[in-house]
Structure 1
Amino acid sequence: MLVASLPPRRLGVPVEGARLHFGRADAASGGGTFRTRYLYLEDDPAFELSLWCGTCPFLFERQGGANGTLSAALGVMAVLEGPLEAVDDQVLAPFASLLPEGEFLPLLLEVRPELVAPHDDRDYFSHEQVTTWGTDRFWGLPENPRSFYYRTFETAVSPEAHLYEFVVPLVPPGWNDRVRVTGYRSAMARGVVPTAVALSTLDVCQPATYDESADHHAHWGLTHFLLDGHHKLEAAARSGAPVRLLALVSVDGSLASADDLARLPDLLSRPRGARPAT
């Protein structure tokens, strides 16, 4: 559920000083090379992302660089221990210092996260994605995010497009401090709604060729990579409780047009709805 949206604004620091940044690297493919797109944490790939072509399957796949959180650099912000009501420079500044300089669309959301493991019954990659792209031609298997993640929302964009929303932790929930998770669960049982913060991307992906046997539609993948709130998201998922999420959607880091990004506030205000089975 959308709580508030702000106009796009410039945030971040020069890329050489950013803890997180987007980039591409050469990868071998059949004797040639193609440019693989990554989210980097420091100098190491943390997640492989959807390919720049926009016709390959939507993807966030955990890499070896996703091996720590940014909590130590941020410290504890008291305003995020409850429901954030307004977004101002005081809230944005600590997170902006982690990000690559560019245009960002700030969105304040309220979500009820559902913890998902690869290949389980709610895994997007094993189900919704396979209905459109099928399995990998070489492996004969679905894409594997190699990460636990949270599903939070989905809705129809049009009869030919559907929005799928995900929250992705930088480390597995099993690495979280059990005492802190329990503390947040207790607070949520008393009605407290804490706030998490994420660097987000919107990737719009659709197969280049039509297959009558497939559910051929554009997948709008809205992915929130957690900057703060790993314990809050796990506690909310295990409690069935809501959590607020300040999403800083990177315009430069997304595979979407300016018009697509501008539609996010409206789409996130719509009723939740799964795509009808074909």
Structure 2
Amino acid sequence: MIKTAAPRTLGVAPSEARLRFDAELQKAGGGPRRRLLFVDDEPAFELSFPCGTCPLLFRRLESGREKLSLESMQERLTGALDDPDDAGVIDAFGALLPEGEYLPLLLSVEPKLITPGREGDYFSEEQVASWGIDQFWGLPQYPHTPYYRTFETAVDSDAHLYEFVVPMVPPAWNDRQRVEEYLMLTAEGAVPTAVAVSTLDVCQPALDLQDDLSVHWGLTHFLLDGHHKLEAAAAAGRTVRLLSLLALGESLSGAAHQARLPALRAQPRSTRATGSSNGAGAA
């Protein structure tokens, strides 16, 4: 955590926003409606199901092919952004978002690129320890995209915060020349700034499902700008700034959870040793 600002109303009417959170249209005889992140009216990501006991999820869909970058902001964001209440930057990106309450957070992150199913994959490791594998597929949840892990810390004895940065398109689609440019900038000491819209989903496994019943707080940042910056930082083992616009009304968490987030994000990083938990945790 570098700084935080007070929640503020941002965005435009949902019909005018390039990005919006919504549920899919109900089909006759279909199952429960999925919670989705839409980009240009196309479903881009399936998100955690709001049942209270379902596992954390961000799953890229086939129609998720668009970034939401504003080219006019590139030069400004490459330099040092020191104020999470910078009206010019926030309002510019707010024009992409649906109207709502957002909490600006300016974070320092050192991203680690994760390939699903390989070492460090949250869905194959920590989530399996709490929820087990998917009962239908017999496999862990699969996000259908590489993603970045950046931070985690204890909430309390039975709850843990996990942070992710999710690119709108796979890093393999990034322009190689621009990644190299950011590698050179970071080698010279520059700390680029990326921008994301974020959710805080608090998910708790059902009782007696697994030995580890810890509550998972998932802070998930969907990149609006900074795809090349994050890849370069991950490759070089360096930090970037991340201006997070936390969508308070679109998160599966309450005001009490959200009020604790700045202090939790300012804690030292700590990993969780998965194992038996004596209680269901504090949701």
Query: Shorter-chain-normalised TM-score: which range?
Result: over 0.9
Partner deviation per Cα, 1:80-113 (whole Å, 9 max, x = no partner): 1122101321111110000000000000000000
For 2:157, which of 148, 156, 159 is the aligned residue? 159
Q: Secondary structure of 2:241's match?
A: strand
Q: Secondary structure of 1:132's match?
A: helix
Aligned match of 2:245:
248
For 2:230, which of 233, 245, 250 is the aligned residue? 233
Q: Secondary structure of 1:125's match?
A: coil
Q: Does 1:136 align with 2:138?
A: no
1:119-134 to 2 correspondences below 5 Å = 119-134=117-132
Instruction: Kindly tell me the number of residue pairs found equivalent between the two proteins.
Output: 274
Q: Is residue 73–residue 89 contact of structure 2 (8 Å, CA) maintained in 1?
A: no
Aligned match of 2:214:
217
Question: Aligned residues: percent identity?
Answer: 55
Q: Does 1:273 align with 2:270?
A: yes
Q: Secondary structure of 1:15's match?
A: coil
Deviation at 1:76, TM superposition (A): 3.6
For 1:109, which of 107, 110, 119 is the aligned residue? 107
Q: Does 1:59 align with 2:57?
A: yes
Partner deviation per Cα, 1:148-186 (whole Å, 9 max, x = no partner): 100000000011100000000000001101000001001
Q: Secondary structure of 1:75's match?
A: helix
Deviation at 1:32, TM superposition (A): 4.6
Aligned match of 2:24:
25
Distance 1:37 1:255 in 2: 11
Distance 2:224 2:63 in 1: 15
Distance 1:61 1:245 in 2: 22
Distance 1:18 1:26 in 2: 18
Aligned match of 2:78:
81
Distance 1:235 1:202 in 2: 26
Distance 1:57 1:26 in 2: 22
Distance 2:243 2:160 in 1: 22
Query: Match for 2:39: what amino acid?
Result: L
Q: Is residue 156–residue 274 contact of structure 1 (8 Å, CA) maintained in 2?
A: yes
Structure 1 segments of 4 or more deviating over 4 A?
A: 26-29
Partner deviation per Cα, 1:108-130 (whole Å, 9 max, x = no partner): 00000000011011100000000
Query: Match for 1:195: what amino acid?
Result: T
Distance 2:72 2:87 in 1: 17
Q: Is residue 201–residue 251 contact of structure 2 (8 Å, CA) maintained in 1?
A: yes
Q: Secondary structure of 2:105's match?
A: strand
Q: Secondary structure of 2:257's match?
A: helix
Q: Secondary structure of 2:34's match?
A: strand
Note the residue ranges of structure 2 that are not aligned, 5 or more in a row.
276-283
Cα separation, partners in 2 of 1:125 and 1:27, compared to 1, 3 Å: farther
Distance 1:159 1:88 in 2: 36
Cα separation, partners in 2 of 1:27 and 1:274, compared to 1, 3 Å: farther
Distance 2:64 2:215 in 1: 28
Distance 1:56 1:260 in 2: 18
Distance 1:55 1:254 in 2: 15
Q: Is residue 24–residue 35 contact of structure 1 (8 Å, CA) maintained in 2?
A: yes
